Structure 1
């Protein structure tokens, strides 16, 4: 089998989260499956944005991965190519994102903006211009 490699980032979120609707509202994500804890909080959620899969996973004490809120920083910015940066940034802001870097055209041919989601993950929304 020669499967094409794909990335499926796993974003860590704080424990006790039940509402992950930000991703649906901001980016049109669809939740494909969820594994909940006994109290109904999210353990793992698999989501798709236009066929691209990513996961949300609660922090566990046995993991060396932390949510940005726990770490106080992030080591990764998720790049998301979209058809209309202006529309998606507005949609993300209305859903609860904080704009870190406003929309700007760069000489390398991209229009980009960076937002932080409610769990501290940074998303670079971009398009080729």
Structure 2
């Protein structure tokens, strides 16, 4: 008998049309590319990635459906929270690969160590761990 699937959360992040290189996520986040679908011009239509088993998707923006990349409007309405074993090491790797630090890692009285970065495609990430 197959094991029942558990509920998981897999955000879909929109990227501008024409993007061909998503190596930032592999080099900066240690993501593994699970699969991807390309357009006729070899740009990315959809890519499925995983960071230590946490799956997320990159999808080219679809203007007619109101799915915009952060670059189109100079901002985003979402911050993706990613819990990792070592915030400082994760942030250092991401910044070395091209992320921009928004707020440095620090401990908060509610029991988390957190830092915020922006990836090269304009997505905001809250990198965090329980302390």
- With the shorter chain as reference, the TM-score category is over 0.9
Q: What is the TM-score when the length of structure 1 is the normalising length?
A: 0.96
Equivalent residue, structure 1, for 2:107: 105
Q: Which of the residues 45, 56, 81 maps onto 1:54?
A: 56
Equivalent residue, structure 1, for 2:78: 76
Return the offset for 1:128. Answer: 0.9
Structure 1 stretch 73-82 or stretch 61-70: which is displaced more?
61-70
Structure 2, gaps ≥5 residues long = none
Q: What value does the CA root-mean-square deviation take over the aligned residues?
A: 1.1
Structure 1, gaps ≥5 residues long = none
Question: 1:49-77 deviations in whole A, cap 9, x for unaligned?
Answer: 11111000001232211111112211110
Return the offset for 1:96. Answer: 0.2
Which consecutive segments of 4 or more residues in structure 1 shift more than 2 A?
Answer: none
Query: Aligned pair count?
Result: 129
Q: Residue 43 of structure 1: SS of its match in structure 2?
A: strand
The CA distance in 2 between the partners of 1:60 and 1:68, in whole Å, is: 12
Q: What is the TM-score when the length of structure 2 is the normalising length?
A: 0.94
Q: Which of the residues 23, 26, 29 maps onto 2:28?
A: 26
The CA distance in 2 between the partners of 1:109 and 1:36, in whole Å, is: 42
The CA distance in 1 between the partners of 2:56 and 2:90, in whole Å, is: 18
Map 1:110-129 onto structure 2 (within 5 A): 110-129=112-131
